[in-house]
Structure formats: structure tokens, C-alpha cells
Structure 1
Amino acid sequence: MRKTILSVVTALALTASTLSAAETFASVNGEEITTKDVAQLLRGQNVQFEALPKESKDKVIQQLIEKTLLTQKAMKSGIEKDAKYKEALDKIKEDLALELWMQKEFVKVKASEAEQKSFYDKNKDKFKTPDTLEARHILLKTEAEAKDIISKLEIAKNKKGSFEELAKKFSIGPTKEKGGYLGKFQAKQMVPEFSDAAMKLKKGEYTKTPVKTQFGYHVIYLENKEVAQTLPFEKVKAKIAQLIVQEKYGKIIKEEVENLKKDAKIVIK
């Protein structure tokens, strides 16, 4: 029961958003396959059908067509008269009753603007974007080699172009063929010595002293830097509202269960 409750809570938003949708994708012997069928099939997979490529969408529809064909065959076989079918149907009715009741209770829960703002003010650290760097580096075995690279950059007119050429020629790192380009990355992804040195640079600057790490000696060129910042309230309020509603709803269900236990006759064998 606990697992059922938790799974229902996490699926409520998806279910509620798809109940009103009724786009038809196909029909099998007159029986339509709609958005609701797609949502049911993908439920719990954290997948948005609209975001899938066409090939994947087609596979989902084909899977539903096959499922419908087999279901129709099963119904024609007289399976409804089977005792196991009737027993399973009774259980499904109970689970469905619980789920629909929980959906109705869930939509009653709201998060006020004041609650959202209060949550934001108390949890601003949760809404920070990380320090992000875009950089190149030249990795050398020795400090002397790194200093020699820096001296070459000092007299170069085109710093970035020269850095790329020197990386291709002298770097022992795997990015040498790309002119030492590391791409964009969160600062904390790199070893502290590297990220600390890179964060001190301005766009278009390079380290004037070798940066020693466990991998060797680096000369770092900073392409761009985005310093960590707190996302504004308006950008995260929808997410905050969702978090608050889920938390409030969880408490409501827990309290309801505790109250029901008081008057229930429970025998554990």
C-alpha cells in the first residue's frame, strides 16, 4: 500500500494533465488509440511523448496497436468468465478507486504566493546556477615546459590563435587535437587547483604561472565564464509550487492514514 501511495503521488501531475486530452493516433477495428492510451503506456517512465523523435513515436503507436489487437482477442476468448479474471478485476477496481480518490484530494491542495515566496527565501541555495567555465588548456609534463609555453604566449600577437597552435603541438592531454578545447563545464567538475586558477581569469586571459595538478602542469586559457547566481523567483515559482503541493499532500495523506488506523481493526499475522 505504501508503494502504491507513493507511485500515485508522483504520477498525479501527469495523469491530471492527460485526462482532458483526446487526440486520436490510430484505430483498431473501430477502437481508437488516443493520447490517454499513450500516457498510460509511458506512465512512470519519465518520458514526454511530444518530445520523442518521430521514429520513437511510431514505435509507441505500433506497440499500442499490438496491445489493442491482443486485448481484443483476449476479450473474444471469453476470458471474462474466468474466476481469476473476476478476482483480478475486483482488485483493479479497488486500486482504481484509491487512485481516483487521491487525484481528487490532490487537486484540492494549493500553494499560495506567500508560501512560494517564503520557501524561495529560505532555500535560495537550492536555486543557484553553478560556476560555469569554457576553457582551453595545454598540459605539460614539467614546470619548465609550461613556463616555456607561457613565454611564447607573452610575445604572441594573437593570443588565442597561438594558444591553439601550441596546444596542438605540445600538449600531452587528449584535447590537443582540438587546440586544448575543454568545452563548457561546471567549475567543480575539475580538480580544485585547475578550477581555482581558471575562476581567477577574465575572458581572453591565460594563466601566467603553471598550474600544477595530479595530471601535470597546465597552462589555461579562459574562453568564457559564467559566475554562479541565484535564479530569480519568477523563474522557479512554478517548481516551488509543485514542491510545496507535493509536501503538503504527503502530510495530508499521512495524517489521514494515522486517523484511519485509530478506528480500524488491524491484525498482523
Structure 2
Amino acid sequence: MFKKHQILSVGILLATLLSANAMAQNAVIVNGKSIPKAQLDKLVQRSGQPDNPQVRGQAREMLVTRELVLQEADKRGVLQNEIVREQLEQARMGVLVGAVFEDYIEKEGVAEADLKAAYDSVKAQYTGKEYHVEHILVEKESDAKAIIAQLKAGASFEEIAKAKSIDPGSAKNGGDLGWVSDKALVPEFSKAMVQLKNGQTTDKPVKSQFGWHIIKMIDSRDVKAPSIEEMKDQLKQMIMSDKNWQKAKFAEMMQKLRAKAKIQ
């Protein structure tokens, strides 16, 4: 038979274990109202931030604030206020309308005609030429002239660029800038570049705000737009963010809903 103090000790132990288990399942208890740990986990996950004590602490405070406001709203009876109830219903409907429309767009997708129209408007922007060029950049005009003399004597443009160019982005690649538009470069560089023929190098140094350039033209071509398949995701985002398209698509959705509905 257990003695009274043994029964009391067991009771205390059980109460402690139950309390610890409840705390493990709850994120916080506010005025006796338990907020489950699962709710805290979900809030942290939705925040998009790394799961760490600081983020959890901020999320916990947010849950406490929310619960305190809800409790105070109940205590003050504001939920019985007709205006408040109408505003809450409007907010609820706003969320539902947005969710239904988003699901409709996801399932219906963007019409091929809309994609083609968007592609044609973007494609029209791909005009002019682009150039594949190399350059050597130095600080002094005298150094640039000396390099031009070396190139005329048969020296390797790429090797000199690696050894002497002060442009950190292209020097390691032998001065190669890849394919560029004349609009993407400083005016002095572009003006000299577009006058070169394929394989030709500037016979005089070109001055810009960065220093003195020796430019070599590798090739040139007409600007070519990416295919519609390559731009499909970008086009969809562009179309779906257009307010006029959204209005037209919403009207289309509502028209379909009304056509299927029995309205008396």
C-alpha cells in the first residue's frame, strides 16, 4: 500500500510530466489560451527566413500579439459591431476572389494568341547589330601606342591583353568582351568600334573615362531575338502582371461562371 506522501509525490510527478508535455506541444500560452507549436512552425516556414532562435522569437511575439488582440476584441465585443462584421466579410471575400481567380489562371493558362502578341511586341525591340570585340586597356597613351606598334609587328593581341590590360574583367580572357551592343558601351569606344571591319584593330589609341583602349573587331551580326519558346516563362510573367489583361481574364471567368449557373 502506498503511503499518503508517496501518492502525493506520484501526483506531483505526473502533473509535472503532463505540464512539460503540454509546453512541448504549445508555442506559448496567453491568458490560459494555448497556441500550438505547429502554428509557430508554420509561421516560421512561411516567413522564408532561416529557422533559428531569433526568427522563432520574432514569430512567437507575432503570435502573442495576434492572440492578445483577438482576446481584447472578444472582451470589448467589437465582433458584434455590424460595421466590423461587414469589413471582415469583405476582407474574407477579397481573399476568396483572389484565390479563385489565381486558381483559374493557373488551370486555364495564358492563351497562345496572348503569348504571340506579347512576343511580337518584345521581338520588335531586338534591332540593330551586336559586336564580338576584344580590347586592351592601359593608363597612358604612350603605352597604348607602343602596344599598337607591337601588334603591327606581329605580336599576339590576346597575350598582350593578358599581360598588360588593366581591365580585370576581360584581361584574363585575352581582352575578350564577348558579344556586346554599341549602346552598352561608352560613346568613344562604340564610335571607334563600329568603324572597324572583321579582324581589324584600331590604328590609334581610343581615349575614354577608363583610360586608353586598343580595340580589335572579331565579328559582327544582326541582333537576333530569342525564340518564343526560350522566352515563354518571361512572356507569361509579363502578360499576367498586366492590369488590363487581368481585368479581361476576370471578366472571362465570371462570364463562364454565369453561363453555367442557374440564376433565378
TM bracket (short chain): 0.5 to 0.7
- 2:233 aligned partner, one-letter code: A
Tell me how far 1:150 sits from its aligned partner: 0.1
Deviation by residue 1:146-187 (Cα, 9 ceiling, x = unmatched): 33320022224433222333436xxxxx759x6796967954
Q: Does 1:237 align with 2:232?
A: yes
Alignment of 1:1-269 (within 5 A): 28=27, 29-33=36-40, 38-39=45-46, 41=47, 49=48, 57-58=50-51, 62-72=54-64, 75=67, 78-83=71-76, 86=79, 90=85, 91-109=87-105, 110-126=109-125, 131=130, 135-142=134-141, 146-167=144-165, 187=181, 188-198=183-193, 200=196, 206-213=201-208, 217-221=212-216, 228-247=223-242, 248-251=245-248
TM-score by length of 2: 0.55
C-alpha displacement at 1:111, in angstroms?
A: 2.4
Q: Secondary structure at the match of 1:98?
A: helix
Residues 175-203 of structure 1 deviation map (CA, whole Å, 9 limit, x = unaligned): 59x67969679543321231344464758
Q: CA RMSD in A?
A: 4.7
Q: Does the C-alpha gap of structure 1 residues 198 and 74 become closer, same or farther in structure 2, counting only changes over 3 Å?
A: same
- Identical amino acids, percent of aligned pairs: 18
Aligned length: 208
Q: Against the structure 1 CA distance between its residues 238 and 137, is the aligned structure 2 distance closer, same or farther, given a 3 Å change threshold?
A: same
Between stretches 89-98 and 27-36, larger displacement belongs to 27-36
Q: Distance in 2 between matches of 1:85 and 1:132?
A: 68
Say if 1:137 and 1:167, in contact at 8 Å, map to a contact too: yes
Mapped partners of 2:26, 2:219: distance in 1 = 53
CA distance in 1, matches of 2:76, 2:159: 78
Structure 1 runs of 4+ aligned residues shifted over 6 Å read 182-185, 222-227
TM-score (normalised: structure 1): 0.54
The structure-2 alpha-carbon separation of the partners of 1:74 and 1:123, relative to structure 1 and needing over 3 Å to count, comes to closer
How far residue 206 of structure 1 moved from its aligned partner, in angstroms, is: 4.1
* 8 A contact 1:136–1:181 mirrored in 2: yes
Q: d(CA) in 2 for partners of 1:131 and 1:35?
A: 50
Deviation at 1:232, TM superposition (A): 0.5
Distance 1:113 1:184, change over 3 A: same
Distance in 2, Cα, partners of 1:120 & 1:76: 52
Shift of the alpha carbon at 1:100? 1.9
Aligned residues of 2:44 and 2:59 also touching (Cα < 8 A): no
- Tell whether the 8 Å contact from 2:44 to 2:51 is kept in structure 1 after alignment: no
Q: Could you tell me how far 1:235 is from its partner in structure 2?
A: 1.4
> Unaligned 5+ residue runs, structure 1?
1-25, 42-48, 50-55, 169-173, 256-269
> Which residue of structure 2 lines up, in the alignment, with residue 265 of structure 1?
none
- CA change 1:159–1:85 in 2 (3 A) is farther
Checking the alignment, whether the CA contact within 8 Å between 1:149 and 1:166 is kept in structure 2 is: no
Deviation at 1:233, TM superposition (A): 0.4
Contact (CA 8 Å) 1:133, 1:186: kept in 2 or not? yes
